[in-house]
Structure 1
Amino acid sequence: MQHDPQPSRDPRILHPDWEPGDTLIALLARNARTHPDGIAMRERDHGIWQQTTWAGYLDAVLALAAGFEAAGIGPGDIVLVTGDNRARLYVATLALTALRAIPAPAYSDARPEELLDQMIREGIRAAVVEDQEQVDKLESLRDRHPDLTKIFYDDPRGLGAKAPAGAAALADLAENGQARLAAEAGLRDDLIGRATVFDTAVLLHSSGTTGAPKGIPLRHGHVLSGVRNAAAAGYFREGEEHMAYLPMAWVGDFSFSIAAAIELRFTVNVPENQETALHDLREIAPTLYFASPRAWSAMLTRVQVGIAETSGLKRRLYDHFMPFALELERARLAGRKPSALQRFWRGVGDVVIYGPLRDQLGLRRVARPYTAGEAIGEEVFLYFRALGLNLRQFYGQTENCALAVAQSSDDISLTTVGRPFPGVEVRIDETGEILLKGGNIFDGYFENEKATAESLRDGWLCTGDAGQWSDDGQLMVLGRLSEVMHKADGTRFIPTYLENRLKFASAIRDVCVIGKDRAFLSAIVCIDFAAVGQWAQERGLSYTSYAELSQRPEVLELVRREIARLNDAVPAELSIRRFVNLHKEFDPDDGEVTRTRKLKRGVIDARYGQIIDAVYAGHDEIEYEARITYESGETGVLTRVLKIGDLDGGQH
């Protein structure tokens, strides 16, 4: 079954300036021709880095493409791709695009039901997976989706003769494909030239916070426009060292690890696994590094924990030089230049503290560090800039290849996301919505004309985000327009704005602000178990579980102080008056957050309605029955007593 993701929108009419032969495959062939011995990819396997040249990369893609074709994969076929970052999964993704098939990545930790929904929606008959775990997951769904007839796997451990019917190793496919290339004259050039700039290079998906995820087809032209716009703004440079550790189902990984890597000849480094990524990062020492605000915050927590465990001269030097660097960075952002003496001591600090710390984190060579996805805390942002990293924020969505707006290296602000890239237009309409236009903007959702009509108007992408311009012309993102809510008295508020500010605190991992049609705002808080656990340990506070730690009076007071700090920074009518520390984290497997940890408010409101009612009824605590699912699949109920905290003297 073949699919055209946008049957009613002719890309040749929408993009008359695109050159038909301008594709990822053609650019990969260019790299193999002009830099055949350059290192395109490294992958750590059993502790040893295996290197692939550009010539070898192209050979691997074409061999697998020939093998896929022999196995029945053809133009328009949508193929599920799932697993952790693996070199052969990147090769397989490109091999599918060479055949004009459509790779559709899914998160490696997606529940079987999520995969089933995607396969049914997209008519998926074949899948490319990492290992036995993913094979078993898909095999369990075959009785409900019998159309899935082919599963191709990378890691054969645990499979081999035990592989289910229709499953085959990617290595065997590549071997068959190589034989075809050797036997069929002209097949190699044919495979390089089949795809066009108008073909879909990847089918990604929205987060699904308000319903089923929407398919987002990105053509070769879209992703290459995004990369070239970013490069024109100095966001990428040729020959970057990049670490591919972000989920393959996320648009940023496709844009960085495949599109930008091929266009600008990055060396893509694939860590051995997620558990070794931080260790591998130090060996890789990338020049380009992206991490979410949550990841930067976790890195800061790791540094602080490490410093807390040191003593002697190292601790004294850190305690002297870091506050100095932080004050220097605050002054710089305020427009004040350092004196000659301050520059001297900054240089000394770089030798004894800042440089060694960057090296320990694996960031000693990073010239272009970025963050995006949500607001980053001022403390975190300032810290890494004080450490000597030119950390910058950017703004993008899957629909625009994640590449639209970014801060320049010399135009940094704590409250903005920067200016549009060359080739991208931004305006804010009368409702306050951010609109985007450019060659990187997708052409419409997969088989969803209604959603397409709502998102694309007169060539502009309606992002759904509320924004405004700063006094110096930079874009400020306030939150989702759909999440603009009103209290009972009509006061307007955007929960995500308040939630992001609260998540700046290291003690808070997730938070959901409640208050629609209510007299005041409240919050359901999920503490950060690692950070708060370390904090408790330093103070000699005992606990045996997340639930117990979250309800300790000292932890309740810690969270209360963080909320009070937010209340001091916002208008009184937006202050949070009551809160409860949840007994667990929000969990994507429970449907409370997406795989990228965006809140599913409807689920949270329904599941914790009893708690919310108690908060607004003025109770001091609630006995909550939490339903849990054991590994065996059996369910049970645990009763938890959750304390409800007050601010502003407990008036509610």
Structure 2
Amino acid sequence: MGTFTDTPDAVPASLPQWLQRQALEHGTDVALRHKHLGVWQERTWAQVVDEVRRLASALQARGFAAGETLTIISRPRPQALLAALAAQWLGGVASLFDPLEAAAEQVQRLTTLQPDFVLVEGVEDMLRLRSAQVAVRILVYLDKRGLSDSTPFAQASDYAALLAERPIDNGVPQGRLLQTAFVFYRGAGQAIEEQRVSHAELLQEGQRLVTREGLGRQEEALAARAFASGGQARYLLAPWLIAGFRLIFPENLATRDRDRRELGPTLVAGTRETYERLHRYALERLPAPGSGARRLVDWALAAQPGPLHRPVGDWLVRRPLRDVLGFSRTRAPLLVGDALPPNTQAFFQALGIRVRLWGDAAHWEAPTHLVHKTTDNWTGLQSRLA
């Protein structure tokens, strides 16, 4: 499965190789934290690399090989991330679907793509696959709740059962620098487009962010978007592997803001929608306009504060608001993708949170394999009509 050496002296040339480097050098350090049923659970770097190796071995035994794509449909969960790394460990590609995407559009896209290897969170996602008439070769699920004998895809495999299998090889990562690590899709039907991101691009952009922001092992970052975009992979996943900080997963999408407040991450890599949602959340909790308490808030958040504004305003208003939003310890508030509207940018600036824009200059194009499929179908139709 490759020639990468198990020594810290080798230069990692892919995401899985960086994972292996962290496990070799800092195996007992915490790599992941995840809240499950209200309790925070932890995985060390050694545990993470062991889980990735075991899953890669199980996938390989079922026919997954270099060049194959593992489609992942899941909310933000550590298992979804580790499955992506397992696919890349084998020289394959991971394709993550946005959990916030409308079901109808996702079904249309699945109908067009017809993926062979799929990992889903649970029954709801299986029903989407059935609606899309996807004939999967291998289907893995994370959550068994709601499964029954009548559930579609009776041949589906339990993620936990795959991990319990005995590995069949030495688990050396096969992915290479110029190979595609992730593929993302947008649109549906004949309008579908894809974005392919290589290990080289991810590592280059990730290292640039680590250097510019001075990121280190002490950081804690919240992963709330399931890495379903190129920007999230560049500016959160790659830096996590390169810098070796802790990546934190909320219990679910509904608890992400509460979990952020509880943890106070030092690194936030959010989208425009993330910051706009937090802006609205804060405004809904401010005193009514015209009240004395609201005048105090407006005074503390003035764009050009006077001598008393900073210490008094910070103590009475700005610091409590940062705590409410979960930014009490944040020193690297990053914006991935589109810029913020002026009012949202001004609000965070007034709180002393200087949001830095990291653009997502994605290149989208028509998927070549789908173009070939469409051409072949049209050629067959022409021959039948002739």
For 2:315, which of 338, 351, 373 is the aligned residue? 351
How far is 1:87 from its partner? 0.7
Equivalent-residue separation in structure 2 for 1:384 and 1:113 (angstroms): 33
Q: Distance in 2 between matches of 1:363 and 1:193?
A: 37
Relative to structure 1, the CA distance from residue 173 to residue 162 in structure 2 (aligned partners, 3 Å threshold; closer, same or farther) is farther
Identity %: 24
The structure-2 alpha-carbon separation of the partners of 1:62 and 1:376, relative to structure 1 and needing over 3 Å to count, comes to same
Amino acid paired to 1:369: P
Answering whether residue 368 of structure 2 is matched by residue 447 of structure 1, we say yes
Kindly state the Cα deviation for residue 79 of structure 1 after the two structures are TM-superposed: 1.9
Alignment partner of 1:233: what SS?
Answer: helix
Q: Which amino acid aligns with 2:120?
A: V
**Contact 2:30–2:44, Cα closer than 8 Å, also in 1:** yes
Following superposition, which runs of at least 4 residues in structure 1 exceed 6 angstroms of deviation? Answer: 310-313
Counterpart of 2:282 in structure 1 is 303
Aligned pair partner of 2:137 in 149, 157, 166: 149
Q: 1:101 to 1:210 in 2, by over 3 A?
A: closer
- The yes-or-no answer on 1:74 pairing with 2:65 is yes
| In structure 2, distance between residues paired with 1:363 and 1:192 | 39
Q: Which residue of 1 aligns with 2:223?
A: 244
Q: Distance in 2 between matches of 1:116 and 1:99?
A: 29
Q: Secondary structure at the match of 1:197?
A: coil
Distance change in 2, residues 1:448/1:68 (3 Å): closer
Over the aligned positions, Cα root-mean-square deviation in angstroms equals 2.8
Any conservation in 2 of the 1:25–1:192 contact (CA below 8 Å)?
no
Could you say what secondary structure the match of 1:155 adopts? Answer: coil
Per-residue deviation, 1:76: 1.4
CA distance in 1: counterparts of 2:110 and 2:119, whole angstroms: 14
Residue 21 of structure 1: how far off its partner (Å): 5.1
CA contact (8 A) 1:112 1:138 kept: no
Partner residue of 1:111? Answer: 103
The partner residue of 2:208 within 209, 220, 229 is 229
| Aligned counterpart, 1:540 | none
Residue matched to 2:237 = 258
- TM superposition shift of 1:398: 2.9
Is 1:217 aligned to 2:196, yes or no? Answer: yes
- Is contact 1:112–1:141 with CA below 8 Å preserved after alignment? no
1:338-367 deviation digits (Å, cap 9, x = unpaired): xxxx45541222122111110111001111
| Rounded Cα–Cα distance in structure 1 between residues aligned with 2:155 and 2:108 | 18
Alignment of 1:224-623 (within 5 A): 224-234=203-213, 236-308=215-287, 314-315=293-294, 317-323=296-302, 326-328=303-305, 342-343=306-307, 345-399=309-363, 446-447=367-368
Asked whether the 8 Å contact 2:120–2:142 carries over to 1, the reply is yes
Deviation at 1:95, TM superposition (A): 0.5
SS of equivalent residue, structure 1 residue 73? coil
Q: Which runs of 5+ in 1 are unaligned?
A: 1-18, 329-341, 400-441, 451-652
AA aligned to 1:287 is T
Q: Match of 1:87, as an amino acid?
A: P
Secondary structure, in 3 states, of the residue corresponding to 2:286?
A: helix
Shift of 1:62: 0.6
Shift of 1:237: 4.4
**1:290·1:371 contact (CA, 8 Å) conserved in 2?**
yes
SS at match of 1:246: coil
Name 1:43's counterpart in structure 2. 34
- Residue 174 of structure 1 deviates from its aligned partner by 1.1
Give the structure-1-normalised TM-score: 0.51
- For structure 2, list consecutive stretches of 5 or more residues without a partner in the other structure: 1-9, 372-386
CA distance in 1, matches of 2:70, 2:220: 29
Q: Which has the greater radius of gyration?
A: 1
Instruction: Tell me the TM-score normalised to structure 2 length.
Output: 0.84
For the residues of structure 1 that align with 2:11 and 2:216, how far apart are their CA atoms? 25
Contact 2:71 2:118 in 1 (8 A): yes
Assess, with a 3 A threshold, how the Cα gap between structure 1 residues 219 and 365 changes in structure 2: closer, same or farther.
same
Matches of 1:210 and 1:152 in 2, distance apart? Answer: 25
SS in 1 for 2:227: coil
